[in-house]
Amino acid sequence: MLSGAVLFAALSVGLSLTPAHAVPSHPDLGKAEARCRPGETGPAFLVSIDGLKDRQGNLKLEVYPSNDEDFLQDDNILINQGKVFRRVEVPVPTGTAELCVRVPAPGAYSITVLHDRDGNRKFGFTVDGVGLSANPKLGLSKPKAAKTRVMAGAGMTRVHIVMNYRHGLFGFGPIRN
């Protein structure tokens, strides 16, 4: 399965279509808007992450509009067009991996989680792991947004994501026990 090369290049660098007038991408884009407040009531996602390969590196969670045009689009493009983009980035916790991310309103969103094991802020096909909301089976290209769609309610919405890592030459999936 050659899924990693196509899907995960898109996950790590977006579509690289940043217009000339846009500000260059920065790792802090979308973070201030995503930060949950103490006692957060929503609308927000509380994302539990299972199947981590280990506890090294960072977790980077990103929220996109849940449509094929905007899902995995470059963060600069989304922000410059006034569209939703949120990012939470934390060291992998030693205990339960649970991240809170605020969204602007109830509705449909798509979520990605990158386990950046080497902490270089880039997806490494042979090293890092990835998870998507609704846990679709990974194929030869990025999944349709509808396969990753989750609905945020007015309050805190729980989402469960299972991480996928490379195994074999081109296989990508959850860690096998």
Q: What is the pLDDT of residue 175?
A: 87
Q: What are phi and psi of 128, to 5 degrees?
A: -90, 170
Give pTM, 2 decimals.
Answer: 0.85
Instruction: Give CA torsion, residues 27, 28, 29, 34, to 10 deg.
Output: 130
Q: Which CATH number fits domain 3-173: 2.40.10.480, 3.30.1360.120, 3.40.50.720, 2.60.40.1120?
A: 2.60.40.1120
Q: What is the pLDDT of residue 59?
A: 97
Residue type, 127: V
CA atoms within 13 A on the CB side of 20: 0
SS3 at position 56 = coil
Predicted confidence (pLDDT) per residue in 44-102, tens digit: 999 999 999 999 999 999 999 999 999 999 999 999 999 999 999 999 999 999 999 99
